Amino acid sequence: MKRLRLILAVLVVRLACAGGEQFVTPGPITSLGHLHSLSSLSVQPPSRPFDVRHWQTRQGSKVIFVHATDVPMLDLRLIFNAGSARDGDKPGLASTTSLMLFEGSRDKSADQIARDFESLGAQYSSSSARDMAVVDLRTLSDPRYLDAALAEFIDVISQPAFRAADYARVHDQQLVGLKQQEQSPAVQASLSFYAHLYPGHPYASPAQGTVASLNALRPADLQAFFKHEYTAANAVIAMVGDISEDKARAISEQLSARLPQGPAAPPLPVVAALPKATRVHIDFPSEQTHILLGSVGVSRQDAQYEALRLGNNILGGGGFSSLLTREIRVKRGLSYSVDSYFLPMQVQGPFMISMQTRNDQTQAALDVTRALLKQFLEQGPSASELQETKDHVIGGYPLSLASNYSILGGLGVIAFYGLPYDYLESYPQRVARISADDIRRAFEQHIDPQRLLTVTVGHDTRPTQP
């Protein structure tokens, strides 16, 4: 029962985050973690030095490592280019494969695996999104525990059994999750948004699958996906912890050698912007209407990404200080919360504005939101808004990298998306150089207010405008 509750909790979180790569890019400004409010007029790099080491294993895995002695731990993350964008005609395949990784290996059951890791004081997890599948291990760096935990981890991750009985149990839990998804207007809005923003593109695939697609999956499908997508050449290995570089190199070679061998995944197709404004409404028996308004946004490698994220913090990603919150919540009371965000991915991820409003206020909320977005696109931020936001971001940056785990997330992003290896060190300086003109140009080139997608989920029979 405890195991059932755990998996159901994971499913609920995933369904709530069905829209994108939140677990990789959680913060409003940077994909390295949430940024907190600290005022600072100086532009200094994080207080922790980052001696980032990187190499490639003989089997083709990219490896990135930071030696950190603050705590006697090792955090290890495997990132595979094996998210739902690789589902093909089997929606839910990547997500189900990820769920099954620790449900049993060739020689052990899920309960045996859990007991073994617990006896070593180690923690493990697996998750997936549209771009990637992620597998984590946290263990003590004392060799008495480290070597045993690594051996267990490598043994499990390299040979998941995908047994029929284990799959049947997980499958039943997935169907329960999908049933809960049907009752969530926020999830329905997200699924519809991706389906209409990315027609014919792999990003349109519902990451958790559908009842029909999950019922059609078989353990053999999971095994084939694992062998084809969880290959050494399709993997990034990120490590942060109290081990030497020589030890990190040995671990990466050992892990890479045990993974399936095969090529890296091919590039995803380019995304086309919507040809015109599009309006989608889903009738739902709720007192509030959930609204998603947005367009195709930006890839993680785009040179204008940081200008967009900084500008978005001023527009709608900066909490109570943001333009959308001031005008929509504080001044007009149209929504309790309103947020805007970019979700950068391998190819152009979405730009979204999200809010909930009373059913009879839907059109008013949309009109104000579109007008504010148009105003921001034309005028950009003021000098004072820009400086205040820069101070906020740069001052809070060290806190976003205060733990080994947060550094691990940053390293994984660097290696997976091919960012410069000095990204962690140079981020504050890059933010400091962004001008108001940079932000205006970036928004102008990436957001067309005449071609926005609007998705509403709620009970509002009055006509609304595209």
CA distances, 270 to each of 302, 346, 349, 396 (Å)? 13, 10, 11, 34
Could you tell me the strand order of the sheet in which 73-80 lies? 53-56, 62-67, 235-241, 73-80, 133-140, 123-128
pTM: 0.88
Let me know: does 8 contact 388? Beta carbons within 8 Å.
no
- In the chain, % helix, strand, coil (3-state, to 5) comes to 45, 15, 35
Residue spans of the domains in the chain: they are 2-258, 278-458
Looking at residue 16, what is its pLDDT?
Answer: 33
222 neighbors 143 (Cβ within 8 angstroms)? no
Query: In this predicted structure, what is the pLDDT of residue 50?
Result: 79
Please report which helix (H) or strand (E) contains residue 135, including its range: strand 133-140
Q: Which contiguous run of DSSP H or E holds residue 73? A: strand 73-80
Beta bridge partners of 341: 352
Q: Do domains 2-258 and 278-458 have the same CATH topology?
A: yes
Task: Fill in the amino acid letter for 326.
Answer: R
Q: What pLDDT score does 319 carry?
A: 86
H-assigned helices in 101-244: 110-119, 143-158, 164-182, 185-197, 211-216, 219-229
pLDDT per position as a tens digit, 18-76: 333 543 322 222 222 222 222 223 334 444 567 999 999 999 999 999 999 999 999 99
Cα distances (angstroms) measured from residue 51 to each of 143, 203, 251, 400, 425:
23, 35, 19, 17, 9
Give pLDDT, residue 144: 94
Q: What is the pLDDT of residue 465?
A: 58
CATH number assigned to the domain covering 278-458:
3.30.830.10
The one-letter amino acid at 116: D
Low-confidence ranges of the chain (pLDDT < 70): 1-49, 460-466
Classify residue 130 by its DSSP letter. S
Tens-place pLDDT, residues 330-383:
999 999 999 999 999 999 999 999 999 999 999 999 999 999 999 999 999 999
Q: At what angle do helices 164-182 and 93-100 cross, to 10 degrees?
A: 130
> What is the model's pLDDT at position 358?
95
Contact (CB, 8 A) for 79 and 415: yes
> Rounded distance, CA 157 to CA 150, Å?
10
Residues in a beta bridge with 283: 458
CATH topology of domain 2-258: Cytochrome Bc1 Complex; Chain A, domain 1 (3.30.830)
